[in-house]
Amino acid sequence: AQSVTQLGSHVSVSEGALVLLRCNYSSSVPPYLFWYVQYPNQGLQLLLKYTTGATLVKGINGFEAEFKKSETSFHLTKPSAHMSDAAEYFCAVSVGSSNTGKLIFGQGTTLQVKP
């Protein structure tokens, strides 16, 4: 069965520092992977997705993620953190057939950005 594990429920970085949020997945079939961001009192917003093709995926707000099959990882990075990046981030894997398209989510990582 597919699953997602996000390492670290809280990550704190200084403004301007590298952001690295870790995600590992388990899947018996080639996975489709997603990163979402959630700002306080809002719904989830898609940051980026990996389906097939290029393993380095660029998303919105300067974020990118690299799919590494050998490591079953899909870590999210941003070279320089901004105060506005403070939010909760969720990694997700798509499961099921085209008739369902369900997403399984990780537990979430709260990113704190210090001035």
Partner 1 sequence: DAGITQSPRHKVTETGTPVTLRCHQTENHRYMYWYRQDPGHGLRLIHYSYGVKDTDKGEVSDGYSVSRSKTEDFLLTLESATSSQTSVYFCAIRTGTGVNSPLHFGNGTRLTVT
Nearer to partner 1 by Cβ, of 13 and 35: the residue is 35
* Cα–Cα dist 77/39, whole Å: 18
Minimum Å gap between C-beta 111 and partner 1 is 15
Nearer to partner 1 by Cβ, of 34 and 85: the residue is 34
* Cα–Cα dist 102/3, whole Å: 12
Pairing mode, strands 64-68 and 87-95: unpaired
Q: Which residues bind partner 1 (CB under 8 A)?
A: 4, 6, 9, 32, 34, 36, 41-46, 49, 51-52, 90, 92, 94, 96-108
